[in-house]
Amino acid sequence: MLDVNEKKYLSVLAEKYVSADAAAAEVISLASRLTLPKGTEHFLSDLHGEYDAYSHIRRSASGVIRRKIDLLFNNELSDNERARLATLIYYPEKKLEGLRKEEAEAIIKKLFSVLRLISEKYTRERVRSTLSETGKLGQIIYELMYSSSSDLEYTVKTVLRIKKERDFIFSLSMAIRRLAVDRLHIVGDIFDRGPRPDKILEELSNETNVDIQWGNHDILWMGAASGSALCIMGALFNSLSYRNLDFLEVGYGISLRPLAEFAEKTYRGEALIPFLPKGDDGGRLILSGSDELTAAMRCTVAIMMWKLEGQAILRNPEFGMNERLLLDKIRDNKIGLNGVEYQIPSRCFVTVDKSSPYKLTEREEAVKRYLVSAFLSSEKLERHISFLYKSGSIYKVYNRNLIFHGCIPMDNSGEFLPLEAAGGRQGRELMDYCDSMARLAFFAPLGTEEKAKALDFMWFLWCGRNSPLSGREKITTFERIFISDSKTHKEPKNPYYKIWESPSLAEKVLEEFGLFGERSHIINGHIPVKRGENPIKAGGRLILIDGGFCHAFLGRTGIAGYTLIYNSDGMRISAHNPFPGIEAAVEKNADIAYDTAVFETAKEKIKVISTDEGAKIVDKIADLMLLKEAYEKGEIAEGTNSRLGLP
């Protein structure tokens, strides 16, 4: 006999499955899905606004599509021909320009072969749904996938006769790209350094199966979009550092004119030299032309940032960051750090009142109010940040993997480190608290105490002492700008990054999040991998996949980072060459992945039943069996139009 809650739940389920036969049919359909190979998961991290490189990696699925082509046509096509076919799938809109009609028939047939191979791990329902997103030709392509070779031959000739081969190839290529990856994981840092994070977010928001683990740079922009003046100054400082203002003004419609006018009138000459933006190689530019205004704006937001930062530190003693109160330590153009006095330029601090060094001037207050209003008024920015909240989190547990951007704060002995800034929380409880505070910053009503507290905490997550997103004891922006002594530039990392080679540490972290067994992994971003460094740590239990998309880091790392593929055969990590640009990739049929290593192979193909999706399916089957039994016992009445039968 069903209890009240069971009957209530099953009655809701009965609205969709109106008879015992309908429930049985769905059980059979779901059970068949459990036997399919698990879908391909694609992990990318640290995109840093590099839209073109991101787009190429996403289109190529880090080599997944090329491997399918090699598998099908290794003995039929040369390496150059296979590379050309792959590039056609990545960029049909460009490759189709030079396509000869006599080539089209053979290409269409090859694309169908690739599509069929990639579709093997999906149900027909999923394939139909995906193809429906590729345009009017999607339904025709779906029917042809399961038709005879003679039907395909006839349809292709018809397509050529009516001169629709370009549209057909475009739809086929889009379908292959969409089905190549079942789920996309972005392991943090979409913003900063590169020129178009807004274009990346626009594409991500159109993905059907994506999750995001927030990085420290994402949190900074999330705080800015939530109304934190301090986070706004930090975000602007980063954008000005790399001369990336177009995405703000063009992409998000945020005019910086009031900031520019104030900066131009306030800071000139030698005051600008420490604030010159960085060149393409990460080095500093020479004072000239438009870079003078950029330097003046960068100086303005830096001074305002340090003032607002000081206010936040004084408001939140639990942050434990008093050592970052620097403006009150400036005396006679000198500052004392760790017992050493350093000369600093006085002209940069013309708005700093010695008696109240952390107070904004009236003009600075006006600029701050304008910028906060401008950020809060940008509809596109709000839409993108809303998407980050909807699809993102501090961490994610998915298919036995723990995914997060930065670190789980630890002490030198490998114990979880309690953070006073988070009420002494540690481990998983700390990460959950950080997630809830980040959400409060955006969703709490303006003007409330809880929102103000959460906005300060967003800044702490960005750069605070041992923040799980920053993973450093301090950020030395002030010292790097004004002091040449490199000893003052050090930003000690949390011990997590020193002891992460230990398999026992990885197991400790995984167990904290309820993960056990050798097939569980930690997947990290945040730290660029240098040439010669192994991205696979802790005996294969921890994988570091900073994507290396940022051009400014190439001189330090020597490579362009890693991405990860996890499919039914196991895990594969791909190293990348620096991306030469879309035009070069199209003209030379060049791919960005230069080395791929399988580091964990499944003993037998991993099926859907072994995944999180499989667990949900098993639960649904159990519910449907209860519903079927309730129908058969008469505990729930079947619907009047319910004899659907088995398929």
- Residue 365 in this model has a pLDDT that exceeds 60: yes
Pick 415 or 576 by higher pLDDT. Answer: 415
Token pair, residue 415, equals 């114990």
Instruction: Specify the DSSP class assigned to residue 507.
Output: H
What value, to the nearest 5°, has the Cα angle with vertex 133 and ends 129 and 137? 100
Environment class of residue 59 by beta-carbon count within 10 Å: exposed (0-12), middle (13-18) or buried (19+)? buried
Does 596 have pLDDT greater than 70?
A: no
Average pLDDT over residues 112-123: 91
Question: HSE-up of 322 (CA within 13 Å, CB side)?
Answer: 3
**What pLDDT score does 517 carry?**
86
Q: Given pLDDT bands bounded at 50, 70 and 90, which one contains residue 643? A: very low
The pLDDT value recorded for residue 468 is: 97
pLDDT at 168: 87
pLDDT tens-digit map of 326-336: 999 998 888 98
Whole-number mean pLDDT of the chain? 89
pLDDT at 210: 96
Query: What pLDDT does residue 218 have?
Result: 97
H helix runs in 1-100, sequence order: 4-14, 20-34, 51-60, 64-73, 79-90, 92-95
The reported pLDDT for the residue numbered 153 is 83
What pLDDT shows up at residue 194? 86
The answer to whether residue 594 scores a pLDDT higher than 60 is no
602-626: pLDDT as tens digits: 778 899 999 999 999 999 999 999 9
Angle among Cα 302, 305, 310 to the nearest 5 degrees reads 130
The per-residue pLDDT for 598 is: 62
Q: Evaluate if residue 400 carries a pLDDT over 70.
A: yes
Distance CA 209, CA 258 (A): 40
Cα dihedral: 492, 415, 436, 616 (round 10) = 120
Taking 70 as the threshold, does the pLDDT of residue 279 lie above it?
no
Specify the range with the lowest mean pLDDT, choosing from 19-23, 142-146, 188-192, 310-314: 142-146
* Percent of the chain predicted with pLDDT > 90: 61
Average pLDDT over residues 252-260: 95
pLDDT at 646: 38
End-to-end CA distance of the chain: 30
Cα separation values, 3 from 408, 620, 622, 632, Å: 43, 19, 17, 17
Q: What is the pLDDT of residue 287?
A: 56
pLDDT over 70 at 176, yes or no: yes
* Confidence label for 642 from pLDDT (cuts 50, 70 and 90): very low
Tell me what the mean pLDDT of segment 544-563 comes to. 68
> What's the pLDDT score for residue 199?
95
Burial group, residue 601, by CB count within 10 angstroms (0-12, 13-18, 19+): exposed
Query: Is the pLDDT reported for residue 286 higher than 80?
Result: no
Could you give the percent of the chain with pLDDT greater than 70? Answer: 93
Tell me: pLDDT of 158 over 50. yes
Asked whether residue 549 carries a pLDDT value surpassing 90, the answer given is no
Provide the pLDDT confidence category of residue 324 given band limits of 50, 70 and 90. very high
Strands (E), 405-549: 521-524, 536-537, 542-544
pTM for the predicted model, two decimal places:
0.92
Is pLDDT above 60 for 555? no
- Which helix (H) or strand (E) segment is 535 a member of? none
By residue count, the chain amounts to 647
Q: What CA–CA distance (Å, rounded) separates 361 from 372?
A: 16
**If residue 223 lies in a helix (H) or strand (E), which one and from where to where?**
helix 216-225
**What mean pLDDT is predicted for residues 562-581?**
84
pLDDT recorded at residue 547 = 61
